[in-house]
Structure 1
Amino acid sequence: MAHPRHTRVLDDLRAQIARVERSGRTRRAVLPFGAPAIDGRLPDGGLALGALHEVGPSGPELTHAAAAGLFVGGILARLNGPVLWCLSRRDLFAPALSAVGLKPERLLFAETHGGDSSVLLVMEEGLRHRGLAGVVGEVRKLSLTEARRLQLAAEASGVVALALRRWAGAAVTDPTAAASRWRLTALPSTPLPVAGVGRPRWRVELTRCRGGEAADWIMEGCDVQGRLAVPSDVADRSASADERHRAAAR
């Protein structure tokens, strides 16, 4: 049996080591969403910059794909500087990105003709340039090796990388080196007291987060400044109702 004095010495030593580790830890640069429910689930209180993140729709419907694209646009709208958007098909609706705060003058489009492999090569090259706010690549598939290359390039430059996963016939569940993985579902818009279409409403799912836990939320889509908002009728629900919703959604 250890002597009580020895036990106290060991406890003191462990406490000192823990303090040194905490003081030496570099806080990562992050971009908060401004929604406490989401930021509270993310390490350091926001989306990690200088990292790769994956975003995709929950199904093949165009409304879900549009929600995923606008979610990415809203993230980049809250950063400063030009954005490199890599794609292989001319089906991006720029006015919709402008509506969530990502203005056309900030966008640099790189259209490739070799499919996902070409998009990923352009993404990796773009991530070497520190003057960019972010790099987006529209791809169907992203292998673990390719994700690691993008993650390392993003870490080296400090530029955020966003892989916008097009629907490939199934939900994205393959292994990844990305810091986080998001899934978007378009829901009926926020009801208005008069006839008309209200603010878009999405189910935002964080399906993977390095250093964090999976979660999902019902949110109003990005506004003209790229910000999400909690619908008033959802914000008024009890915590137990939120937990039941999350359990049912999984």
Structure 2
Amino acid sequence: MARNTRPQFQALRARFGGGHPRDRSVLPFGIDDIDQKLPGGGLVRGALHEVAGGANGAVDGAAAAAFAAGVAARTGGRVLWCFGQPNIFPPALAQCGLTSDRVVFFECREEAAILRCFEDALRHGGLSAVVGEIGHLSLKASQRLQFAAETSGTMGIAVRRWRRQTEARDFGTPTAATTRWRVTEIEAETLPVRGVGQGRWLLELMRARGGECADFEIEAFDNAQGHLCLPPYLAHRPVAPVAEGRRAAS
């Protein structure tokens, strides 16, 4: 029998207070190579965005969660993070700019309950972003999330996480998300301290409504405020175009 999680959400709603007017603005990354590929020059705030990890990250979701945390942190307000796998590490999110005083966690093992909380929180309007860790996301469920985000102006970020590598194929099914990203950890830049490196990702823009697909090699974070940056050797070079076959597949 499904557990009734609405009382828990009502308690969170009381804590956050009233809503804000609808926001149709965008949140730029501050990197021209990325922002130029996005209609409006950034991520639409009142919209649903999808993020998944590449390679083994499809299961552990570390890079995808870090990317989502950095984006959510830059929205400037309170954030609700809904998850089902109990391996969230708040200090890691804080390194991405999402500090503990700005985020509230909602844990539930049932994905249906996570989706309900995700949608209700987006509709509420008192948050700047809502992050939901989910595996399967149907077209209908994503349409509801997208509509809720458009209605309130709150950014929704669906972090796709699967318990098995084979389940990651679900990321290829269509959804209503405005953008779809895949984040893969790649070899880090060696720093002077032994055993420590600067995190580096391959960031793939798999889909952008009204925009283009593209790949970017980026430094994970250059500070604790959720900002990304290009590696020095790429900062003044154009990004290679995406292959036509992969663009059509997305």
- TM-score, normalised to structure 1, is 0.82
Question: Aligned in 2, Cα 1:248/1:144: closer, same or farther, shift over 3 Å?
Answer: closer
State the match for 2:190 in structure 1: 191
Between structure 1 and structure 2, the one with the greater Rg is 1
Unmatched 5+ stretches in structure 1: 1-26
Q: Offset of 1:62 from its aligned partner?
A: 7.3
SS where residue 136 of structure 1 aligns?
strand
State the match for 1:200 in structure 2: 199
Q: Percentage identity across aligned positions?
A: 46
Question: Aligned in 2, Cα 1:248/1:230: closer, same or farther, shift over 3 Å?
Answer: farther
State the match for 1:158 in structure 2: 153
Q: Offset of 1:40 from its aligned partner?
A: 0.6
Counterpart of 1:226, as a letter, is G
Q: Is the 8 A contact 1:64 1:184 kept in 2?
A: no
Question: Aligned in 2, Cα 1:249/1:202: closer, same or farther, shift over 3 Å?
Answer: farther
Q: Offset of 1:130 from its aligned partner?
A: 1.5
SS where residue 131 of structure 2 aligns?
strand
**Could you report, residue by residue, the CA deviation over 1:188-213 in whole angstroms, capped at 9, with x for unpaired residues?**
11233563422200000000010101
Could you tell me how far apart the structure 1 residues matched to 2:212 and 2:233 are? Answer: 25
Could you tell me how far apart the structure 2 residues matched to 1:64 and 1:58 are? Answer: 10
State the match for 1:146 in structure 2: 141
SS where residue 151 of structure 2 aligns?
helix
Superposed CA RMSD: 2.1
Q: Is the 8 A contact 2:59 2:161 kept in 1?
A: no
**Could you report, residue by residue, the CA deviation over 1:144-176 in whole angstroms, capped at 9, with x for unpaired residues?**
000000000000000000100003523411111
Q: Is the 8 A contact 2:58 2:161 kept in 1?
A: no
Q: Is the 8 A contact 1:68 1:183 kept in 2?
A: yes
Could you tell me how far apart the structure 2 residues matched to 1:43 and 1:62 are? Answer: 27
Question: Aligned in 2, Cα 1:61/1:181: closer, same or farther, shift over 3 Å?
Answer: closer
Could you tell me how far apart the structure 2 residues matched to 1:87 and 1:186 are? Answer: 22
The counterpart of 1:91, out of the listed 76, 87, 94, is 87
Could you tell me how far apart the structure 1 residues matched to 2:244 and 2:235 are? Answer: 18
Q: May I ask how many residue pairs the two structures share in their alignment? A: 219
State the match for 2:108 in structure 1: 112
137-146 vs 188-197, greater mean Cα deviation:
188-197
State the match for 1:59 in structure 2: 55
Could you tell me how far apart the structure 1 residues matched to 2:245 and 2:104 are? Answer: 37
Q: Offset of 1:113 from its aligned partner?
A: 3.2
Could you tell me how far apart the structure 2 residues matched to 1:248 and 1:205 are? Answer: 14
Q: Offset of 1:235 from its aligned partner?
A: 2.5
**Could you report, residue by residue, the CA deviation over 1:51-83 in whole angstroms, capped at 9, with x for unpaired residues?**
000000112347972111000000011122110
Unmatched 5+ stretches in structure 2: 1-22
**Could you report, residue by residue, the CA deviation over 1:108-150 in whole angstroms, capped at 9, with x for unpaired residues?**
1111232x21110000111122220111110001000000000
The counterpart of 1:100, out of the listed 57, 74, 96, is 96
